[in-house]
Structure 1
Amino acid sequence: MDMHTMLKELGVEETTLSETEKRTLGEQGYIVFEELIGKEQLALLRDRYEDLMAKAAGTIAHQRENGTRRLFDLENQGPEFDAVYTMPKVLAAVAHLIGREFRFVTLNGRDAVPGEGLQHLHADWPSGPDGRQNAVTCLVMLDDFTPDNGATRVVPGTHRSGVNPAADWAADKARETHPDEVLVLAPAGSVAVMASHLWHGGTRNKTNGTRRALHPFYMGRDQKQSEGHLDARDYIRVKTYKRLSPAARYLLNVEWDSI
């Protein structure tokens, strides 16, 4: 198995991304694919999300970020999550951004509770010294992302700056509105794919409802997951491994001998 074969077997073709989509990714550092997930699958993911949240309530992981509900290690929580990190359109975008061999790292869940969710502008991963993209973060929207419910804000083009927001956007201003920021707004079932070096952050949920999202994370195979964060390669369960196709196993970069 190699990267080209893996992508082909998971449904990625040369035409999966249009030239306009490729240009948007390169220039803006992110793109939104609207309603990639059908209503039936979306309902299943929502139900499973809430079931896992109920079981996680009160745990350290669940309370990891004040004002939010969090889930981790979702790749091991059931087959309904397999398709979340193997969508052809998403994989094509990841391949275009990273531009070399990459792997899926982990799948998390996050939503801001009413009145909370405002984050500092931040980048999830440092870019290389040559400006190359080392990692990609995705937002799989289980609810509509609206101007009022805590939608993610991004500063387009900052993935190529080589600068951490904390260095260029003073810490005391990092929660303020950046002059160039835009909100990622889309209906439930949509997926935003963004370079992990792109400046971004959650906004405040001003509604009484939820703003739930799943976060598949990918990185170049030459990168190592940060200490203290889960990596599917190290924590994949036998029952998860057994149900995955050879291509999906290659995407996770796991072999039977390693689990």
Structure 2
Amino acid sequence: MTSMPALTAERLRALHSEGFVLLPGVLDGLQIQLLRHAIDGLKPQHWDYSGLLEHYKCVFNRDPLWLPFLDLPGVIELAEAALGDDCHVIGQTAWRCHPGFQGMGLHLDYLALQLPRSLLSDPAFELPMQICTCHLYLDDIDQDLCPTRVVPGSHRAGRPPRAGEEHWHGQTAQAVLCQAGDALMFRSELWHAGSENSSAERIRYLLQVHYGRRMVAQKFSPYLQWRFNPEVLAAASARQRRLLGEHEEAEYD
């Protein structure tokens, strides 16, 4: 059996080489059912929206139920290895994608630095990560149920995809087909897309967690009106409080 440090190191190498890595069996059946039930009970707040796509922001602040999914075993070790052991959460969102949802085109989430192509194409250069996203799938994902599509290695493109561009260096977007309870971790520069829900009646449930280096700002909406839920803070572990922003003093504090 591979030890956790060795497995984390292997997954970190995949984030550097491919830009993404699939983590099997992160959630068990009870956790999957708990999350699906909790998502069913969410009501829109502030910038949340509903329709064929339901999208709920900052769910960690609504109930202590969501806290354990900020630092899941296997996920948090990888996030800390990629972004530093003082990384924090910059978002936790819940999704329901209904039949007829058309998906999202190929894009990247955030490009921290625009670097010269000569550097990005040098295999000896390791591009540091600033933000990573974890998709926690709550359904078995097949071709009909909104599979996430990823372009391997595209985090080294150094730019977003152009309109109509569907491949990078000969690599086209690949559908991530997986089981309920699996997680996909990918870095913010990776070209990826969300597929349509072409199933007849299935809804895709997804919980998403964004991790950032400490110096990446936590922009929790509604911003100036933001207040942490006291019940959530009281229930949070020391590590979860750090992920929510309770850091040790540093140069810019």
Q: How does 1:15-94 map to 2 (within 5 A)?
A: 15=5, 17-52=7-42, 55-56=43-44, 61-63=48-50, 67-94=52-79
For the 8 Å contact 1:34–1:191, the answer to whether it is kept is yes
Q: Is 1:95–2:80 an aligned residue pair?
A: yes
Structure 1 residues 238 and 19: alpha-carbon distance in aligned structure 2, compared to 1, 3 A threshold: closer
Deviation at 1:177, TM superposition (A): 7.5
SS at match of 2:105: coil
Instruction: Tell me the distance in 1 between the aligned counterparts of 2:47 and 2:87.
Output: 30
**Distance across 2 between alignment mates of 1:252 and 1:48:** 20
* Rounded Cα–Cα distance in structure 1 between residues aligned with 2:209 and 2:194: 16
Normalized per residue, the structure richer in helix is 1
**Matches of 1:247 and 1:18, distance apart in 2:** 18
| CA distance 1:60–1:204, change in 2 (3 Å) | same
CA 1:94–1:19 in structure 2 vs 1: closer, same or farther (change >3 Å)? closer
1:229 deviation in Å?
4.8
TM (norm. structure 1) is: 0.79
2:236 to 227, 236, 244: 244
2:131 paired with 1:135: yes
1:111–1:212 contact (8 Å) kept in structure 2? yes
Q: What residue ranges of structure 2 are gaps of 5+ in the alignment?
A: 116-126, 248-253
Aligned residue for 1:199? 191
Q: CA-to-partner distance for each residue in 1:196-248, whole Å, 9 max, x for gaps?
A: 1111110011002011101111111112246x8567xx542111111111221
Deviation at 1:103, TM superposition (A): 0.8
User: Which secondary structure does the structure 2 equivalent of 1:88 belong to?
Assistant: coil
Kindly tell me: are residues 16 and 80 of structure 1, through their superposed partners in 2, closer, same or farther at Cα, counting changes over 3 Å? farther
Figure out how many residues of one structure are paired with residues of the other and give that number: 229
Quote how far apart the aligned CAs of 1:77 are.
Answer: 2.2
Q: Deviations over 1:107-156 (max 9, x none)?
A: 10123221213211111111334642110111011111211111110111
Secondary structure of the 1:241 match is helix
Q: Does the residue aligned with 1:121 lie in a helix, a strand or coil? A: strand
SS of the residue aligned with 1:15?
helix
Distance 1:14 1:188 in 2: 22
Counterpart residue type for residue 86 of structure 1 = D
Structural RMSD (CA) = 2.5
Query: Is the counterpart of residue 124 in structure 1 residue 114 in structure 2?
Result: no
User: 1:218-237 maps to which residues of 2 (within 5 A)?
Assistant: 218-225=211-218, 229=221, 235-237=227-229
In structure 2, relative to structure 1, the CA distance for the partners of 1:96 and 1:189 (3 Å cut) is same
The match for 1:151 is: 147
Q: Which moved more, 1:41-50 or 1:123-132?
A: 123-132
Once residues 230 and 199 of structure 1 are traced to their aligned partners in structure 2, the CA distance between those partners, rounded to angstroms, is 28
**TM-score, normalised with respect to structure 2:** 0.81
- Aligned residue for 2:99? 114
Give, in whole Å, the separation in 1 of the partners of 2:6 and 2:222.
Answer: 30
Contact conserved, 1:139 with 1:193, CA < 8 A, in 2?
Answer: yes
